């Protein structure tokens, strides 16, 4: 993989960059939570970050089932 300046970026480095980005986003949201909507965004972020792969798969199955029920 290549970054904007065309240097090779390894997968572990990219994963570390994403980890840092999500941590900075969480810090920003915590520092600026002033309304209920801000808290909802923060809670959503925390829920998404704390899910295991199995929980993510379960959510996808539940979403697929809900969409099928809506189509009926």
What are the boundaries of each domain within the chain?
A: 11-71
The token pair that represents 67 in the structure block: 């969409």
Residue range 49-57: mean pLDDT, rounded: 64
How confident is the model over 2-41, as pLDDT tens digits? 555 556 667 788 888 988 999 999 999 999 989 999 999 9
The rounded distance, in Å, linking the Cα atoms of 62 and 11 is 31
More confident residue, 38 or 56: 38
Least confident range from 18-22, 48-52, 57-61, 67-71: namely 57-61
pTM listed for this prediction: 0.53
**Rounded-to-integer distance, Cα 27 and Cα 25, Å:** 5
């Amino acid at each position: 993989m290549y970054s904007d300046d065309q240097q090779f970026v390894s997968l572990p480095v990219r994963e570390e960059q994403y980890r840092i980005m999500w941590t900075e986003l969480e810090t920003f949201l915590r520092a600026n939570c002033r309304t209920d909507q801000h808290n909802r965004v923060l809670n959503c972020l925390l829920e998404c970050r704390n899910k295991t792969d199995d929980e993510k798969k379960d959510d996808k199955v539940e979403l697929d089932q809900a969409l099928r029920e809506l189509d009926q």
